Each structure stands twice: as structure tokens, then as C-alpha cells.
Structure 1
Amino acid sequence: MEITPKGILKINFLAHLNPFFYNGGGEQYTRAIVNEGRRRGHRIRVISVYPKSRRILSRLLRFRKPDLWMLFDVFNCPDHKKHFSDSFLKKIVSRENYILGQNAYGDICYLNALPCNGNIGDGTNCVEKKEDYFGVRGNNSGWRNGYCPVNDNKELFTKAVFNIFLSPLHASVFQKIYPGLKEKTFILKPLVDVDLFRDKGIKRDIKYASYGGHSETKGFYNIMEMFPNEEVIFFGSKNDKLPRKFGYGKVIGRIPYDEMPEFLNRVEYYIHMPRWPEPHGLIVNQAALSGCKLITNDNVGAMTHSYDMMDREAYRKNAEELWEKIEDTVKQKRCVKP
């Protein structure tokens, strides 16, 4: 029998994408969470569906009797051919010994970027029209034939010990759909490398830039309407469908994470005007800390926190706060265990 030192937790960390192989905004969060947990001495094993090369190994190495499960974005990337099986997830949910985390809305909507903005219908039938999904929103794939998973996935949220959301705005969308979550909510403050992102005082030769702003989700139409005669530099994905269609903006594609501080120091105005209720938007914090002037709207989760975005010290213990919550929760569960 495996013996764990007192206070050290054995945790199975479940995520569709392994955060140590992918570098999206969500994976930046989950990677930072796992790293902080390991720094505190906890034994954490990551179980993922992708990359495929790690799929079987991660399942084999998981703890058979963990102290806790942590689930993040379990239904992420609905277009992928492989996901965690329903039976596997139902077994975890039935034990009610897990924390559920959301980096976006993938566990309540299998379409790209919550086209209803959380204004669901009956929770079974999608309110989005197919022609709008492919036309106005510029999607190339992902249509789910009118299916909404809100009702089917309700227990995933309600049976969790608590739910992690990235901002007050993010939490409000889920709480509107599942009102009972208000008592089971932890809002994680942004996890930003404040030593990496800072104003270097160099010449800013890019007037306007936006991460993902060339997509409908991140606010392509909003940006084009506000700055019709400006050249906005769009970075992130290489998908230039909407910019080509309207002859607007310049798409430069992905910028490696380690090159982001240098790039943001070239930007005078960083624009973030999403259509959807952006869960957080780490890039907003990174741009602000790098000296960019922000242009945002009311759909940016990063702007709904109560802390001072420019206070570097406000970022340093955010991951610690989450782990203190996790440790206290496990301790309390052990105290009431018969």
C-alpha cells in the first residue's frame, strides 16, 4: 500500500489537453495550478486525452485511490475524435470527490465560443441558427445539430466540491444557468508572470493590435466598427477568413509565448472587445503590464476583478490562494468523514 506523508495530497488532475504539451490561455492556467501544487509538495498526476502519445500512459499512472480529483475543461475541443468516456466521467462524478475548473465554456456548450452568450433556451436544444454559426460567426466546422448539453452536464457542476471560474463575469454566466453554484464558487485571480511582462520603455511602432480579434468571438465586428479606417494587427491563429472577406486588418499569426513581452512592448493600443463574455483574457493583463493602453468593452472578464491590474504584488500569491482553499477543503472533508 502506498503511504503519503501527512498533509501531502495524492491528486489526479484530469484535462482534455495536457497543459505541459499545449500553450493556450487555458493551459497557461492549468500548468500554473499544477506547478504550484507540486511546489507545495502534493503528488499530482495529469491524465489527458491529448497528446495521443500520453493518453494510455497517463491513465495507467493515475492514482487508484486519490485524495482528490481535479477536472478542467473535460469536454474541451469537441471536434476532436477522442474524449474521456462517459462511463469514466460518471464514475468520478458519482463519488463527489472532485473539484471542477473552467477555462472557458466547453463543459456547457460544444459549439465554438458560446454563441448564445449564456442566454440558453431549454438546456437541450441550441438557440443558435446553423446559418449564423457558419455565416456571421465565420466558423468552418463544429456544428452539433442543435444539441445543447446544459441539462445533461448539470450533475458535473452540482456534485463538485466546488467550481473554479476565472473572473466574476465568467462565474456569473454559469450561476445564471445553474443558480445553485453560487455557494460552490471559487474565483481564481489571474496567474501572470509579472517578471516577464513589463514596460521596457522602447519605441512603440504598432498603433493597434488585438489577440484573436480577427475572429467573431474575440470581437472582429466590434473592432471593425470602432476603427474602420485603421490597420489593426491581429495575432493568434492564422485563420484570416473574416479579414479576407471584409478586407480589414492584418493577420500575422501566432507569436511564441517567450516573444510576447517584446511584441507587446511595440504595441501602443491593445484592443480587446469580444462578442462573448470572455472568461478572463490573460492577454489583457499581460498587455497592461507591458505598458499598452487598453481599449476594451464590458465583455472582458479580466476587467471585472476588484484588484488593481497594475499592482504586480496582487498577482504573486493567486495560485497559493487556490491551493490554500483546496487544502482546507480536503481537511474539512476528512474531519467530517465517519
Structure 2
Amino acid sequence: MNPMSWLMIPTSIMLSTILVTTSTHWIMTWTCLEINTLSMVPMIAKPHHPRATEAATKYMLTQTLASMTILFAATMNALETSQWEMTSTTNHLATTLITLALMMKVAAAPFHFWLPEVTQGVTTMTGLSILTWQKLAPMSILLTLSDKINQIILLLMAMMSITIGGLGGLNQTQTRKLMAFSSIAHTGWILSTMTIAPNISMLTLTVYILSTTPIFLMLHSTSSSTVKDIGTMWTLSPQLASILTLTILSLSGLPPLTGFMPKWLILNKMIMFNMVTEATIMALTSVLSLYMYLRLTYISSMTLPPNTNTMTTKWRTNHKTQPTPTSTLAITSTLMLPMTPTL
């Protein structure tokens, strides 16, 4: 890909996302979502591999279907209210359709099937952008409609996402697919308080991005594409393996790491609103995801390969230098829990 393409495509992705977060008109929002999708497809198909082509096709079809549903629902609402403003969405059927379409865009259960396959078929850094940056635009629309969305639908999808995200990651050996199921589970936590406390949902999304980004950067730096590759990281860089272990534990939500903060606030808020049953189900099903993360930490920090690797370089590419944001984001994703009382 030539330098002009590398300049135009990321710029289009960033600008379209920013415009979605600042737009209040449905046509403008839909147009920016389409620009975002069209800009992401070349990034996914860049490796010129059959699996990358398959991932690009699945991503394009899924996002196009969701965008068509949003445009159809917005038109239905405009026919009834004569308004294209997002805040004037009063048609219940239109609101439900838009909610389902946005669930498809953020890969919440039961519309999650495309995300693991797409993430597995792309490069590590492209997978990072799909699991983090690409959630910002749909989440901003959900935040705008948070007072109009059916709470029962969101709670059902949240509980399904947490359960399926944990179950799907139990038997995975591919790190990218495992992180995709982790994203599905965290999407459920984000959606659970979208109607009763949108600020907590945005905090949960922020903490998830801060925790996922350094993990992907470390996986990219060591070219670790499978769980078995993580097991050899300790002999090559004990410091990197230690940071990876702490960051994964933070992503799992164990105290006293940063990842415990959003789950603590979410469960506390749900209990305050008498959602004790839903909070209990979410807390119990999150144990599935916890097992998935503990398996990763056990392999990365508590096991050694059968034979000590004396080679200076592994058979796969090893990037010696670590990107500067990795250590900063890792520290942020593990040591921010004391800030909870101020939020």
C-alpha cells in the first residue's frame, strides 16, 4: 500500500468516527458510518491472503446490513415525526431496530458471530483497531439514544454477551480470536448500564481500551499468534511477560488492578436500581471469562517451554524495541483503581 493510501485511510477512519460522535442528524451519522466501513475494508484486506479477503467480505456484509437497518429505521421515524434529528427518535419500532443494528456493529450477542472470524483473519494491529476504535462510533450513538432505548433488550443482550464471551474463549488457542471473545464479554458489561448510568458505560469502554491496547501491542511486538507462543515469552523477555500477565489480570477484573473498577461500579449501580438478579447472573457468568484470562496468565508466567531457547532470535519475527505507549498504557491499566472514589 502506497504512502498516500496509508495517509488517506486512517484519516478517513478517524474523521468519520469523530463526525459520528459530534453529529445529531441521522443522514450525517449514516454517511459517516458508511465512510468508516469503506475505509476499514482495505485495512482488513491488505495482507492479500484468502483468510483476509474472507474477513473483509464478512466485515463488509455485516456492517452494510447494520447501516441499512439504521437508515431504514431513521426513515421510518422521519415519516412519523418529520424530524431527522437523533434526539427526536420517538418511534418505538425504529428505536428497537436501531438498537439491534448497533448491537450488530459492536458485536454484542446474539449478533457476535462475525467478530471472532474477522479478528482471526486480520493482522494484530488491524484486529486492535476493530476491537477498540471501531466501537467508539456505535457506542456514541447508543449514548445519544440512552434515554430512549428499551432497557430489557440491553440487559438481555448484556447477559448473553458476557456468557457467550466467556464460553467462546474457553477452548481457544488463537490469541486474536481469544481477544475477540474477550471483547464480546466486555461489550456486555458496557451495555448493562447504558440506560441507567451512561457515564459508567463510557468509563468501562475507556478502561477496556486502555487494557486491550497494550496486550495487542505486546502480542504484535513478539509476533505471538497462539497461546503456545506466549509460553515462550518468559525465556526471551521476563519483563514483558510480567507486564503482559498484570495487564491480562487487569482485563479480567481482579482487584487491586484497574479492571476491577468498572465491574465494581456497574454491579453497585445495578443493585441500587434493584437489578439484583441481573447483577448476580452477570457476576457468576463472568467467572467463565476469568478462567480464560487465568489460563493465559498461567501459560505466560507460570510455565516454561520444555527446552530452554538459546537462540538469539526465534523462528518467528522478534521485534526488539517496544513501542513507547506500551509501558505507559500497561501502567495505566493496572494502577488506576485508587481513583475510583473520585469518579
- TM-score, reference length from structure 1: 0.24
Name the structure with the higher strand share.
1
- TM-score, reference length from structure 2: 0.24
